[in-house]
Structure 1
Amino acid sequence: MTYRTRLLASAAAIMTAVPAAAEIKVGFIGSLSSDTGLSTLRGAEIAIEELNAQGGVMGEEITMVTADTGESVTEGVKAYEYLAESEQVDFIVSGSIDDVSLGWLPRMQEYRIPTLDTWTSFIGIIDMVVEDPDAMRPYFMNIASDEALATLYVDFGKDVLKEQMGFESVVILAEDTAFGEAITGLVTDALAPVAGIDVLDIITYDVNTVDFAPIFSRAEQTGADFIYQVSSVNSQVISSQYVKLQVPMAMTGVNVAALGLEYWEDTGGAGGGISTLSPIPSVGFELDPASQAFVDTYQAKYDSRPRMPHFNGFNAYHGVKQAMASAEKAGGFDDADAWAAEMIDQDLKLMKDGELWLRYGFWDYDEVEPVTGRTYPHNALFDLEAPYDFAQPSMVVVQWDEDGSVGVVYPFEYANTEFTLPSWVPAD
């Protein structure tokens, strides 16, 4: 054996003998080119940086790897498999849209990797936790489910659209997605009996629709007082065409594009009059000191869109910290059941002016929400009744004005402006 050979062999032996630096590996799954996905990714990045600056978790550094879904169900399944098999991550934080999460959920059940969904809100997933708690134990959703969102929105229909505006009927324009179907069903079942507003028609459209003129024309022909839209994909298109066509009906509902500061720019300034429900914090929403500090850090770190994180960015920031705190108590992420038992006990209360403003926690299995009379295990805590002293409301309604400003119009306890009709819509 030559000297050089012996030297290489000795070096290899030394490298083999030295253990790799211990680390906790977090996997991000979501779109790397959407405001939604980037909000979750960046919220998680900031949380991890802050945790590492404090010594990491259990003395181990936290690292993160990403897997792009491209908002495709097929790519989403591949992304989850990549994180589980190739990267062997300890924990997954998701910024996936509903359809994509539904695609990879069977993989989560198979690999049993603790997973936190920060954007998906499909109530059917929480139903899965209720029906098969063992299989769904590693899964948490720290956004109020769409049922809770719709429940409070129906109150908006009753308190504002019905009582203040005098609206009696609605036509629903909903995208053809799992999210669109779920929200449509919830609103249809509740608007008439609870808010006293009749649903005259439901128009389902493809997410790639570029010409909404025929759809708006059909909506007008129903004679409804207003339009309820459900749009989570390409929402800026329906928004700008509504304004440019001067559709003579108020349009409210769920418009994901309107949740970001870039909405006005994306619609070319043609976004005035649009109102949308939004989980919180939202654009136009007053922030507590802790949330403002996160936004300040975010905006100092990133100079590209989204300029302000969507609500799921806040969810990721707090959720990653709660997941890591749970891992410390459970001795790591390997025992998903032990980790979940600690995660469900996480409870962060953020105060503003001496009052509860936001609360990041989870419903337990036996806790019954009083308004709906059902359980929401592993779902984010929410409050469906004023004065919101248990938790924050499941959503707020924000409205963009024709001058490009935006504010909260409902619930009244969180409102900083009033709901108004666009200038081109007849008041009567």
Structure 2
Amino acid sequence: MKSIFKSSFRNVTAFACAVICTTAAQISHAQERQPCIGLSGALTGPQAFTGLAARMGAEIAIDEINASGGVLGKKLVLKVYDDGGQPPKGVDNVRRIAMADNCIAILGGYHSGVALAMREPIEQIGIPYVGVMAAGTKIIEHDSGKNAWMFRVSAKDRWVAQYLSDVALQKSASKKIAVFYENTGWGNGAAPDVKAALQAKGISPVALETFNWGDQDMTAQLIRARDAGADAIVMFALDREGNQILRGMDKLKYKPVIASAWGLAGNLGELAGPLANGVLVFQTFSWMGKQDPKTAAVYQKIADKYKLKSPADLKMGSGTANAYDAIHILAKAIAGAGSYDRVKVRDALYRVKYEGLVANYDPAFGQAQEQHDAIKQKYYKLTAWYNGSLLPVDQTPYK
């Protein structure tokens, strides 16, 4: 009898929850949208600088838009929430931004695992998501072939894999390439992309090596890559684990070329010191070196607002530039829609044209899934760590 009662209670509870959740969603949809854009990013933890990077770009763009009168007569507001790189927190932030704050859109942060977890609630609620860092291919290219709400002003790992594979092959004398990737949604999604990119050129990776967040010793993986003859490594890792890999290479006196995704674009120079010299890192944007007038003007606003001493203080600067462009694109979509209605704003994203920091978006997005990525390969850039700074590669000895 007890088991029957418990089963019935669970069924009633589940039904009540479904009714409440559905009603909350309906109320949220019925309310007038607020002129706010939410940002879910890592503001705490080892990658806290990534959340700050996105926040800086977004806030400067909103400052510019509001100084010009806002959008549709209203000032935009940025609602910022920490996900700490944790998928459950990202899901909670989607609901908070979409339903409690009733914002018009969500900016996504650094971690692909978080963005992948956010997909389902974003699709269920129906709110435009614009990623500004997380580059996992499947964030945008859903297995179902349908993607109604997920957009990105950032990199796509399938394209990054092709780019880095070309770099590795150009730098490799033996054409023996190893792939190192973290055991996360990001790394596990990127590894097949790299393998496919190499195989498209008739090359099979000689080693596919993975590791976990927080691992302190990758010697075994490095020995396997070395013994397989790899003189270049395509890497999908974060700065913390990248530092450990470089220390392992130093211990083994193993010096392959490293062509890395932008997980090594934050504080690798600080962590690894001179060992980071020569590590090649893909980016969508660099604030270093000679700046064009628009870049210089935006950087000055960032420096003034956040008390930066030099562009080198911008950790994960690609994310700052991407977020800046994403906010301007969203503002133009709202203006083009003539409404804060999410469906109308989503549809207007396909019509936005904007000359941004990172790219000339003409238009920003297309209807096909692949065209939900705004930054095309032609805008990708190669940088290199040199004496603690991440510089355009042609300003270093490693070009």
So what's the TM-score if we normalise by structure 1?
A: 0.76
Would you say the 8 A contact 1:123–1:146 is kept in 2? yes
Does 2:263 correspond to 1:263?
Answer: no
- Name the structure 1 match of 2:15: none
Residue 321 of structure 2 is matched in structure 1 by: 314
Offset, 1:311: 0.9
Pick closer, same or farther for the CA change 1:193–1:319 going to 2, 3 Å: closer
1:86-137 per-residue CA deviation (whole Å, 9 max, x = no partner) reads 22222211214111011011111111122211012222233229812xxx33
Aligned with 1:215 (options 218, 221, 234): 221
Which of residues 248, 252, 256 in structure 1 aligns to 2:258? 252
Q: 1:407 to 1:331 in 2, by over 3 A?
A: same
State the match for 1:124 in structure 2: 138
Residue 398 (structure 1) aligns with: 383
Aligned to 1:426: none
> Letter of the aligned partner of 2:120 in structure 1?
P
Partner of 2:293: 289
Any idea what SS the aligned residue of 1:119 has?
coil
**Partner Cα distance (2:155, 2:355) in 1:** 16
Structure 1 residue 172, shift from structure 2 partner: 1.7
Alignment partners' CA distance in 2, 1:266 and 1:288: 30
User: How far does residue 41 in structure 1 lie from its aligned partner after superposition?
Assistant: 1.2
In structure 2, runs of 5+ residues without a counterpart are 1-32
- Say which structure is richer in helix: 2
Alignment correspondent of 2:281: 276
In the alignment, which residue of structure 1 is the partner of 2:101? 87
Contact 2:112 2:185 in 1 (8 A): yes
CA, structure 1 residues 350+85, in 2 after alignment: closer, same or farther (shift >3 Å)?
A: closer
SS class of match (2:35):
strand
Counterpart in the other structure of 2:164: 153
Report percent identity of matched pairs.
21
Segments of structure 1 that go 5 or more residues without pairing to the other structure are 1-21, 352-356, 367-374, 384-391, 410-414, 421-428
Q: Is the partner of 1:344 in helix, strand or coil?
A: helix
1:177 to 170, 175, 184: 184
CA distance in 2, matches of 1:152, 1:285: 22
Change (3 A) 1:114 1:405: closer
Q: What is the alpha-carbon distance in structure 2 between the residues aligned to residue 126 and residue 203 of structure 1?
A: 26
The corresponding residue for 2:334 is: 327
Q: Does 1:302 align with 2:297?
A: no
Equivalent-residue separation in structure 1 for 2:149 and 2:200 (angstroms): 37
Q: Tell me which amino acid in the other structure corresponds to 2:336.
A: K
Shift of the 238–282 alpha-carbon distance from structure 1 to 2, 3 Å rule, reads farther
Residues 1:29 and 2:40 aligned together: yes
Superposed displacement of residue 347, structure 1: 2.4
* Residues 243 and 271 in structure 1, CA contact (< 8 A), matched pair in contact too: no
Name the CA distance, whole Å, in 2 between partners of 1:358 and 1:86: 33
What amino acid is aligned across from residue 54 of structure 2 in structure 1?
Answer: T
Equivalence for 1:419: 398
Give a deviation string over 1:247-300, Cα, whole Å, max 9, x none. 42313132545323x43223344311211222x213646543212221221122
* Whole-angstrom CA distance in 2 between matches of 1:250 and 1:321: 41
Q: Match for 1:28: what amino acid? A: L
Residue-by-residue CA offset, 1:50-96 (whole Å, 9 max, x unaligned): 21111111111222222211100111111211222222222211214
| 2:16 aligned partner | none
Q: Which amino acid aligns with 1:299?
A: A
- Please state how far the C-alpha of 1:154 moved relative to its aligned partner: 2.7
Q: Distance in 1 between matches of 2:356 and 2:127?
A: 29
CA distance in 2, matches of 1:350, 1:330: 20
Bigger Rg over Cα: 1
Moved more, 98-107 or 88-97: 88-97
The answer to whether the 8 Å contact 1:98/1:179 transfers is yes
Corresponding position: 1:407 with 2:391 = yes
What is the match of residue 358 of structure 1?
359
Relative to the length of structure 2, the TM-score reads 0.81
How many residues are aligned here? Answer: 361
Quote how far apart the aligned CAs of 1:232 are.
Answer: 3.2
- Cα offset for 1:331? 2.2
Q: What is the distance in 1 between the residues matched to 2:388 and 2:322? A: 26
Match of 1:347 in 2: 353
Contact 1:141 1:380 in 2 (8 A): yes
Q: Aligned residue for 2:27?
A: none
Amino acid in the other structure paired with 2:385: W
- Partner of 1:65, secondary structure, is strand
